[in-house]
Structure 1
Amino acid sequence: GDLGMRPFVLAQPEVHEHKLGPKDRLLILGSDGVWDRLDSQEAVDIAARHKDPGSAAREITGVAKQRWHADTQGQLSDDITAVVMHLDYGSPPPTRASSSQQLAKSTSTAWRRGSTDALPKRFNTSQRLAALDSLRPVGALARRPSDRRRR
């Protein structure tokens, strides 16, 4: 963490709940660096223009970054991260076992901001996920030796 910023960082997350329904077509997750510069309807309008969730996320973060730089004369920028997911209700949800197996396959690498590598599309159309603003692999996720033992 950034100990110098400790007085300004809150440990309590801001959480909003919304029950998804058949009319919901997009899910957009963003850091406060996005939401401090775009309202939710503008983000939805941007994402709706893109078939690819990755390009939607890049545009959302790009707009937020431009506004941060314009508002602060290029001096400040917050963490600007967004994830866009297209929701598809056309197929039944996967079973619990297949969801776990698919998640295990899709999380073999940890990702973080910092390069122009894109998050791999390892999800089918109904689960397509895209992460924005330059992600790069930071290494395979490792299990502790105690996690490998049979129980």
Structure 2
Amino acid sequence: MATKTQEKMVQFSSFLSGLTKNISNKDGKRRINHGRQATIALAKEARKNGLLLTSHGNVNAKWSSNYACAYFRGGNKGINQDRFIVWEAFGGKEEVMFCGVFDGHGTWGHLVAKRVKKVTPAYLLHYWQEAMDLLKGSNFDRFEMWKKSFMKTCSTVDYDLELHPVIDSLYSGCAGLMIIREGDLLVLANVGDSRAVLGTTSNDGNLVAVQLTVDFKPNLPQESERIYKSGGCVCEAEDEPGVSRIRASNDETEEGPGLALSRAFGDYFAKDSGLISEPDVIQRTITTRDRFVILATDGVWDVVSNEKAVEIVSSAAERDDAAKRLVEYAAGQWKRQRPGYATDDISVVCLFFHKASSSQEVES
């Protein structure tokens, strides 16, 4: 496995060198070349080695302490608009893992989510390698490096959608929640209202839930302030009590399209009204108290509490079943809690930090 990983590192280096010229100016306009064939080849190689997951299943490299499982279930609103990815040995480095969940919305939301899932890893690798090259031979802050890489990546991905010749993202978009694990460093980048919840052990030995990310809704004070300053407004429709939406006007009416999240890729109708694709990037140092992290789209969190989700994942007899059990529980809660409402798409990625034999250990 180590030999194969080294071979992939050479492939990645060549690929990333080619990406250096991806973003350029010509006649005042940026052109983006995604190195599509190289990305596809790398993804195929990773998938062949059991290191890449984009559908039901698990990733469990023998040399890694990571163990990830993922599961999804389409709702009954139409085409499933959720996508996810788990990539072990990300960038050819055995200690780095990348995970992401992407929740599309709007007529073309399924295509937006698919596109964002596809191009995000390539751009993140490019900007990460760029940062590594600049800081080579000097001391550097790993978190700041990943943070800058995520910030540039999300900006580029959003611009990619705007330029796409086929996907119409004017009234369609997606939320994106991504994490990097590099050794004991966990970096989370959140655009939208998907959520990451940590299962960790408290001082008294009980397993507790810690919400790591913010659900970026328009009515959050810092979000609504930005929206109003940008000329937009935040409104609630009479038939949707408690649901705040960005409106692309400042007259606070309920007319026209609205968006129930304050950060997203795409949705260009609202980009001049306060919607942004800038991620909130945070870090956490993983200890032996931290058992796992759950990444899930809002199809889970609309009907399941953080505490219940952690309980379900931790009580799974086999780690393989953890994500599936949470998805199926959430689907059942939609029927019980919201009868008559269409069930949302539901996607879950569970990333366990330690091997099964030591996952119950805590710091003394």
Give the TM-score normalised by structure 1.
0.49
Whose Rg is larger?
2
Structure with more of its chain in strand, by fraction:
2
Q: Return the structure number with greater relative CO, CA threshold 8 A, min gap 6.
A: 1
TM-score norm. by structure 2 comes to 0.22
